[in-house]
């Protein structure tokens, strides 16, 4: 092996000396890490992952046997990204978990700066209350808990109810802006009739005065699956098919036409029978919940291609800038959510549709 050139060796030693001398002053050289800080393309540490509901459900049942909803405050099994274990994160900006509430239980009232969505996976008839209004949960319903609003959950029916929780916990943690407060009562007082917010905002109408009760978050906090599903099936009967997404819609804030949550954008899409989609990728990593039917997700990331065969109630995550292609022989409906509103607000969102 050739010895290093004397001038190169002197340069290397001078640099190492500089690094040692400035380190106690909490200084580091940008040029040594610039390639990692500003990579040529997104390089998420997250990996694709699949949670099969039939494998997870027994653990939810066991959790119901060993801890009550009141003891746990929220009895949730976190969907942790395998590459982010211990961080309570499904992507670097989002949290996801499956929550169980048993007959007769109440998950006590509290509030926090984190915004939350609920997507009902199994069971009918439990409720969630948001700032004095209850809504009954049905499979496929999308429900919002706006930031810093009092909310509790209860189950007055004779079956267990499970829903997907999606929150911006890692994002709020990044900003060091997390606050929480427990309510003084187990359940908050109900001050408005069920359906009051839907009557005000769910029919393409709004009150003449008193708009935006939840600030940047939608004033409509319950989006029934019955109506959302009908929209997709109407599109399937009359609209052209998108080669990448099938028939995909985003949930709206009825006051603004924008995202219903300032940090999270939820979507619902229908893959018709025989759908064989094109591949695409985007910078917003997304969490998916299979609502009905079955399909296949092909994900191609740095670790190589993966195939997830999924059915109703399964969940999977697609990290940022990893290629996704969807397929369904029999047809299916997918709910998903991502941090797209934040990326769009910052002007950094990118999407690439591949042939």
Q: What is the pLDDT of residues 11-48, one digit of tens each?
A: 999 999 999 999 999 999 999 999 999 999 999 999 99
> What's the CA gap between 322 and 344, in Å, rounded?
19
Its sign, for the CA torsion 52, 57, 63, 64, is positive
> N- to C-terminal Cα distance for the chain?
48
> What's the CA gap between 161 and 244, in Å, rounded?
33
Give residue 237's pLDDT.
96
| Residue 339 CB burial class (10 angstroms; 0-12, 13-18, ≥19) | buried
Give residue 1's pLDDT.
57
Tell me how many degrees the CA angle 309-313-319 measures, rounded to the nearest 5.
Answer: 60
pLDDT tens digits for the chain (355 residues)?
A: 566 688 899 999 999 999 999 999 999 999 999 999 999 999 999 999 999 999 999 999 999 999 999 999 999 999 999 999 999 999 999 999 999 999 999 999 999 999 999 999 999 999 999 999 999 999 999 999 999 999 999 999 999 999 999 999 999 999 999 999 999 888 999 999 999 999 999 999 999 987 788 999 999 999 999 999 999 999 999 999 999 999 999 999 999 999 999 999 999 999 999 999 999 999 999 999 999 999 999 999 888 999 999 999 999 999 999 999 999 999 999 999 999 999 999 999 999 999 8
Q: Give this prediction's pTM.
A: 0.95
CATH superfamily of 49-353: Jelly Rolls (2.60.120.10)
> What's the CA gap between 75 and 80, in Å, rounded?
15
Q: What is the pLDDT of residues 232-268, one digit of tens each?
A: 999 999 999 999 999 999 999 999 999 999 999 999 9
Give residue 203's pLDDT.
94
Residue 169: closest CA among 188, 145, 153: 145
Residue 75: closest CA among 114, 111, 105: 105
Task: Identify whether the C-beta of residue 91 lies closer than 8 Å to the C-beta of residue 42.
Answer: no
Residue 108: closest CA among 162, 180, 182: 182
> What average pLDDT is seen over the chain?
96
Q: How many helices (H) and strands (E) does the chain have?
A: 8, 22
Give residue 209's pLDDT.
86
Give residue 179's pLDDT.
96
Q: Distances from the Cα of 25 to the Cαs of 28, 32, 122, 131, 149, in angstroms?
A: 9, 17, 56, 50, 44
């Amino acid at each position: 092996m050739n010895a290093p050139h004397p001038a190169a060796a002197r340069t290397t030693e001078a640099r190492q000396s500089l690094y040692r001398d400035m380190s106690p002053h909490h200084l580091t050289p940008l040029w040594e890490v610039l390639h990692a800080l500003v990579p040529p393309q997104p390089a998420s540490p997250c990996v694709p992952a699949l949670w099969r509901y039939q494998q997870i459900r027994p653990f939810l049942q066991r959790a119901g046997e060993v801890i009550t909803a009141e003891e746990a405050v929220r009895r949730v099994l976190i969907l942790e990204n395998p590459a982010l274990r211990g961080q309570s994160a499904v992507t670097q900006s989002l949290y996801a978990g499956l929550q169980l509430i048993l007959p007769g239980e109440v998950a006590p009232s509290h509030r926090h700066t984190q915004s939350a969505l609920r997507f009902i996976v199994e069971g009918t008839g439990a409720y969630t209350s948001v700032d004095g209004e209850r809504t009954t949960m049905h499979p496929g319903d999308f429900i919002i808990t706006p930031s810093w609003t009092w909310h509790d959950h209860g189950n007055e029916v004779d079956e267990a109810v499970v829903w997907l929780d999606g929150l911006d916990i890692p994002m709020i943690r990044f900003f060091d802006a997390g606050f929480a407060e427990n309510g003084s009562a187990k359940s908050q007082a109900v001050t408005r009739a069920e359906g009051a917010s839907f009557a005000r905002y769910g029919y393409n109408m709004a009150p003449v005065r008193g708009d935006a009760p939840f600030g940047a978050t939608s004033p409509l906090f319950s989006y029934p699956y019955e109506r959302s599903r009908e929209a997709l099936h109407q599109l399937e009967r009359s609209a052209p098919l998108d080669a990448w997404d099938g028939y995909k819609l985003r949930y709206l804030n009825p006051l603004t036409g924008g995202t219903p949550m300032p940090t999270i954008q939820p979507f619902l899409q229908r893959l018709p029978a025989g759908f064989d989609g094109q591949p695409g990728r985007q910078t917003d990593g997304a969490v998916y919940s299979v609502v009905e039917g079955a399909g296949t997700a092909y994900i191609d990331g740095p670790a190589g291609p993966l195939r997830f065969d999924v059915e109703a109630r399964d969940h999977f995550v697609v990290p940022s800038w990893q290629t996704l292609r969807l397929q369904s022989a029999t047809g299916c409906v997918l709910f998903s959510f991502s941090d797209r509103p934040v990326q769009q607000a910052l002007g950094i969102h990118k999407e690439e549709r591949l042939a």
